[in-house]
Structure 1
């Protein structure tokens, strides 16, 4: 079946995948506070299903503010344990980057391992502060337009109107 946008009816299946792939208490992480009450960027929340329709991986994207600037917070991303090691996570990340750029978005950010995400162009955001207890070394960003992160600094907050 391949890649598709997540639909409302997929929500609980994706949540079950996240529960399977992440430690209990994942929703206690500071990044979840940034998502509360904020709808995800539906066009960038992607699923990958195999030919039988089984969910193999999922990635979600949420709007946030960095200071006064808009950014998109990538994650969580999960790949079913039976599909890990096949490049599916990389495929989902590349798909989000490509679709966000095509949609005219300026910047992406995430909390993750620099050696892994660096291969997609993500770099440490030294002037961006995620809510504690996030390790500042793991706050990474990708400019989808040249210079999109220049001059963008400060606390990451919920994108609410």
Structure 2
């Protein structure tokens, strides 16, 4: 398996992967909208491939921490083809994305997900890092990881397509 930047010719395969990996089409629709948004960061849309087959995908898009409008990343969705789940592909993708983000000088990544799963990547409840979720009801499921010293503090705002979920 190799992990690399997603190519435009793979968009349909990545969409099909997300449709298969999730019970609804929400993630696939979100991904299509994120690619058209100003918050899209092509270097942070990664695929896992085996031969010519796309077996996993992860993306992070530009978000902001208010009130100062400091740049941050919103991680997700992360998807792995159902017949390949449970084999560490998602783990490899998240580690790769965080490494690319850190190398690119990003200071903070946030996500909404299972705290038990994402703790392995260094994510903590966001409030422990001084980052408030867009929806207070998300509680411990909204998590953050500082990628550099001086990570911003405040209320996180996702790229615009997340507002329509």
- TM bracket (short chain): 0.7 to 0.9
Cα distance, 1:106–1:128 mapped onto 2, change above 3 Å? same
Cα distance, 1:92–1:115 mapped onto 2, change above 3 Å? same
- State TM-score, norm by structure 2: 0.82
* Distance (whole Å) between structure 1 residues aligned to residue 62 and residue 48 of structure 2: 22
1:98 and 2:99 equivalent?
yes
* Distance (whole Å) between structure 2 residues aligned to residue 27 and residue 14 of structure 1: 11
> Aligned pairs, how many?
153
| Alignment match, 1:47 | 47
Unaligned stretches of 5+ residues in structure 2: 161-165
Cα shift readout 1:34-76 (whole Å, capped 9, x = no counterpart): 947334211111001112x111100011101121211111111
List structure 1 runs of 4+ shifted beyond 6 angstroms.
Answer: none
Contact 1:44 1:96 in 2 (8 A): yes
In the TM superposition, what is the alpha-carbon distance from 1:143 to its structure 2 partner? 0.4
In the TM superposition, what is the alpha-carbon distance from 1:95 to its structure 2 partner? 0.3
Cα distance, 1:117–1:27 mapped onto 2, change above 3 Å? closer
Please give the root-mean-square deviation of Cα atoms over the aligned residues, in Å. 2.5
In the TM superposition, what is the alpha-carbon distance from 1:155 to its structure 2 partner? 4.5
